[in-house]
């Protein structure tokens, strides 16, 4: 009887999370069941909303940005393809990547892909100097860097002498950077099974106004 009360109580908590987060607002029965399963494992993460919405509301816009609309089905597919592409570049569970980006849809795709890999997305300021960025890369143990293509010179200087950051793990977004990877080329059309989000995390460093920037 006590076990039944525990299960019932846990089910109520899951229902409140699903409803208050609008994860299942207007969702189909299939999407609602998927949300319940993901939440019930305790391993749901930042990309869960894309997975659920891709099932229950596939053509609803996830992002509207600079005249471009990306629906939930497309966003979910891109997250899977990015996770597969990163895995094929050797990234694995509990690895971290750095995001040196302004606000843009790819920000969420990267966070979602790393969550599905069971890794961490480390957000750092795109205004960082090369010295500041190098400190953050070393401190976080980043194994790849996603950056705005116009910041290539800063990234180039920051990664000098960091063997973990091979050229194919320096990934330019929304443009080309000589000798570095292009974001769209990392998206792998051969999607593979992805890990759960048990160890997925988003890491944000402090601004470091009076001392070194602080993270985990």
pLDDT of 24: 53
What pLDDT, on a 0 to 100 scale, did the predictor assign at position 137? 96
Please measure the distance between the N-terminal and C-terminal CA atoms of the chain and give it in whole angstroms: 42
Q: How far apart are CA 157 and CA 98, in angstroms?
A: 15
Q: What pLDDT score was predicted for residue 209? A: 45
Residue 116 CA to residue 51 CA, distance in Å, equals 11
Q: What is the per-residue pLDDT for 23?
A: 55
Q: How far apart are CA 178 and CA 174, in angstroms?
A: 13
Residue 52, pLDDT score: 84
**What does the domain layout of the chain look like in residue ranges?**
77-204
Tell me the residue ranges of DSSP E strands in the chain: 61-65, 68-71, 96-100, 120-123, 142-148, 170-173, 181-182, 201-204
For residue 8, the model assigns a pLDDT of 44
Q: Which fold has domain 77-204?
A: Rossmann fold (3.40.50)
pLDDT at 41 (0 to 100): 67
- Specify the pLDDT at position 42: 64
Report the pLDDT value the prediction gives residue 147, as an integer from 0 to 100: 98
Mean pLDDT, 10 residues at a time, over the chain (216 residues)? 42 49 60 69 74 86 94 95 94 95 96 92 94 95 97 97 94 96 94 58 64 50
What is the percent of the chain with per-residue pLDDT over 90, rounded to a whole number? 58
Spatial separation of the C-alpha atoms in residues 66 and 81, rounded to whole Å: 23
The per-residue pLDDT for 4 is 39
Which pTM was predicted? 0.80
């Amino acid at each position: 009887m006590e076990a039944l009360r525990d299960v019932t109580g846990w089910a109520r908590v899951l229902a409140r999370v699903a409803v208050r987060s609008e994860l299942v607002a207007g969702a189909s029965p299939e999407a609602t069941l998927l949300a319940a399963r993901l939440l019930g494992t305790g391993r749901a993460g930042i990309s869960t909303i894309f997975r659920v919405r891709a099932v229950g509301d596939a053509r609803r816009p996830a992002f509207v940005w600079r005249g471009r609309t990306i629906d939930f089905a497309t966003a979910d597919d891109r997250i899977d393809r990015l996770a597969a592409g990163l895995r094929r570049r050797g990234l694995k569970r509990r690895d971290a990547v750095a995001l040196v980006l302004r606000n843009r849809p790819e920000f969420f795709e990267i966070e979602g892909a790393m969550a599905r890999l069971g890794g961490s997305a480390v957000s750092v300021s795109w205004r960082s100097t090369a010295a500041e960025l190098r400190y953050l890369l070393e401190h976080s143990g980043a194994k790849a860097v996603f950056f705005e293509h116009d910041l290539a010179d800063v990234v180039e200087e920051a990664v000098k002498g960091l063997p973990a950051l091979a050229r194919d793990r320096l990934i330019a977004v929304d443009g080309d950077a000589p000798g570095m990877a292009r974001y769209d080329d990392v998206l792998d059309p051969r999607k593979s099974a992805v890990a759960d989000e048990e160890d997925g995390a988003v890491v944000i460093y402090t601004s470091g106004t009076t001392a070194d920037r602080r993270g985990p």
